[in-house]
A and B are shown apart, each in its own frame.
Chain A
Amino acid sequence: RKEVEQDPGPFNVPEGATVAFNCTYSNSASQSFFWYRQDCRKEPKLLMSVYSSGNEDGRFTAQLNRASQYISLLIRDSKLSDSATYLCVVDLNTDKLIFGTGTRLQVFP
């Protein structure tokens, strides 16, 4: 099993739609979870950290399910500018973070 797994997509959704991505991780002792956003030919940028109780930032909601070892990202009222690749990032309880290969989102008019 891969340490961090994501559906590569692409997810093609119309503007205004709600879309959700999941990411599974293998290490039950992981403590740090993040979603990063990466635009084409750009560097990854932190979208949000994921906390045990779940957290929300505007149209974005992140959740953690420790029992099933996955994190999720929900985007409501999708905008054209949300088109990007979303990277799931998890620590392995060691001195590093593991980055998923990303889920590509394309929002169309």
Chain B
Amino acid sequence: DAGITQSPRHKVTETGTPVTLRCHQTENHRYMYWYRQDPGHGLRLIHYSYGVKDTDKGEVSDGYSVSRSKTEDFLLTLESATSSQTSVYFCAISEGSPQETQYFGPGTRLLVL
């Protein structure tokens, strides 16, 4: 299995609080991604990174920010969590391009009350 970890694995928070999710990889892959998965929608891309300090928006980026200060770490921040951001968040990595196989972390279950 690809060396990808996510923390925390579960989190319950209240509306309006900031939340940061961490993705850590040991594969030295260039690309990292954050997705959310909700019933009926499948996986939707939030943000992705193509290198240290290089990030871009996905299709559902509103309300989220990301940072990548090291190759191995990609952080997703919800500046002010809302109930609509209750979801399962998956981090993924790929080696050379977004069109290549992506490998996923175990996911973070976030509940915003």
Contacts and interface: CB of A to CB of B under 8 A. Distances in A.
A is bound by B = yes
Interface of A: 31-32, 34, 42-46, 49, 87, 91, 95-97, 99-102
Residue among B103, B104, B107 having the largest count of chain A Cβ atoms under 10 Å = B104
A95 B35 CA distance: 14
A102 B39 CA distance: 10
B40 to A, nearest CB: 7
Contact of A101 (B42, B58, B90, B106): B42
The 3 closest A-B pairs by CB, nearest first: A101-B42, A43-B104, A99-B43
Nearest to A4: B42
Contacts of A87: 42-43
A96 B58 contact: yes
B104 A45 contact: yes
B103 A46 contact: yes
B99 A101 contact: no
A96 B40 CA distance: 20
Nearest to A2: B42
A32 B99 contact: yes
A46 B90 CA distance: 14
Interface string B72-107: 000000000000000000100000011111111111
A65 B78 CA distance: 41
30 contacts: A31-B99, A32-B99, A34-B101, A43-B104, A43-B105, A43-B106, A44-B43, A44-B90, A44-B104, A45-B104, A46-B101, A87-B42, A91-B98, A91-B99, A95-B48, A95-B50, A95-B56, A95-B97, A95-B99, A96-B45, A96-B48, A96-B98, A97-B98, A97-B99, A99-B42, A99-B43, A100-B42, A101-B40, A101-B42, A102-B42
B70 interface: no
Nearest to A31: B99
Nearest to B38: A101
Nearest to B105: A43
A42 B58 CA distance: 22
